[in-house]
Amino acid sequence: MIKRLDEMVDLVRSAGRKYRIAVAWAHDANTLGALKMAYDLGFADPILIGIPTEISKSAKKAEVDITGLRIVEVGNDSEACAKAVELARSGDADVVMKGLVGTDKLLKAVMDKEKGILPPRAVMTYVCAFELPSYHKLLFMTDPAVIPFPDLDQKVAMANYAIEMANRFGIENPKVALVGPSEKVSRHFENSVEYSVMCKMSERGQIKRCVMDGPLDLFLACDPKSVEIKGIPTPVDGNADILLFPNLESSNPFYKSLMLFGGAELAGMICGPTKPVVVMSRSESEKSKFYCIALSCLMA
């Protein structure tokens, strides 16, 4: 069972594969730096898509030597997105990664009905793993980035992606906490209703390979002492592996506060498309960007 993100990197390297990463509009110095780290460690084979002179300029500015990295020339950022997705679709790339282009542009190409890589009816969401100084193991969460107000089906899909990811980390039956403001069920909190339904689905084997409970507040999810004090019998037992949030409004500030105040490093990616899609935000550290690349290779 992997407890640190560096161990995840080791696991990726141990596969002995070079994952082909199609980078859309690779004009971003930070991205190039993180890619170069992955390249130097021998598990990444970046395909830089963009204007070659611009890519070289960015690399020089970031003092990154991109000798040996493949470059595919396109005229603009939309073409870069389309090309990256096309390479993934044809099996010529294992991962799609965003460079210096808006997330919406890249996801538009990913979701394109004819040329995209999102299967019909598949739910697209974001799952990430946090390494925190204040928690004894990795903490996965979903969805801090993509679905504003997930419905029940989307929440189930989110849980399943997170469980699958945790499984890849060697966590066989991850404890999934469905996060809310309290552990009580109330008709006035639609999420507590959906959570109850999800718990029953898990009991009945409609959601597999996990231990699920919710609603749970963050303390009951991650702090065994609170479980003891409150006396709520919960199989998650203050030892959650995965936190599922009810909506973007609660998940995104949580995600950002961990980075800003919690000293967190993270690895995250978009789940749902046939190939992992890496969409990093500027606020992530270079280390986290590198972890995102490693994670997408692990999940490829």
Partner 1 sequence: MVLKKLSDLGSIVQKEPRKKLVIAAAQDKYSLNAVMNAANDNVIEPILIGDKDMIFSIAKLGGFNLDGIKIIDEPDTEVAVEIAVKMANRGEVDILMKGMVGTSTLLKAVLNKEWGLRTGNLLSHFALFEVETYHKLIAVTDVAMNIAPNLQEKISIVNNSVACLNKLGIPNPKVAVLGAVEMVNESMTATLDAALLSKMNQRDQIRNCIIDGPLAFDNAISHESAKHKGIRSEVAGDTDLLLMPDIEVGNVLYKSLVFFAKAKVASVILGASVPIVLTSRSDSEQAKYDSIILAAAAS
Q: Which residues contact partner 1 (rule: CB under 8 A)?
A: 152-153, 183-185, 187, 193, 195-197, 199-201, 203-206, 232-233
Nearer to partner 1 (CB atom), residue 132 or residue 185? 185
Give the nearer residue to partner 1 in terms of CB position, either 29 or 197: 197
Nearer to partner 1, 122 or 152 (CB): 152
Cβ 213 to partner 1 shortest distance, Å: 8
Task: State the minimum distance, in angstroms, from the CB of residue 172 to partner 1.
Answer: 18
Least gap, CB of 153 to partner 1 (angstroms)? 8
* Nearest distance, CB of residue 139 and partner 1, angstroms: 24
**Which stretches within the chain are classed as H helix?**
5-14, 29-40, 52-61, 77-89, 103-111, 152-168, 190-203, 218-222, 224-230, 248-261, 286-299
Of 92 and 153, nearer to partner 1 (C-beta) is 153
Q: Map tokens 């500027």 to a residue.
A: 282
The Cα diameter of the chain in Å comes to 63
Q: Minimal CA–CA distance to 214: which of 255, 159, 172, 161?
A: 159
- Which one, 194 or 284, has the nearer CB to partner 1? 194
Minimum distance of partner 1 from residue 231's CB (angstroms): 9
Please state, in angstroms and as integers, the Cα–Cα distance from residue 28 to each residue in 31, 139, 168, 194, 233, following that order: 5, 29, 30, 41, 49
Residue 278: enclosing H or E segment and its boundaries? strand 277-278
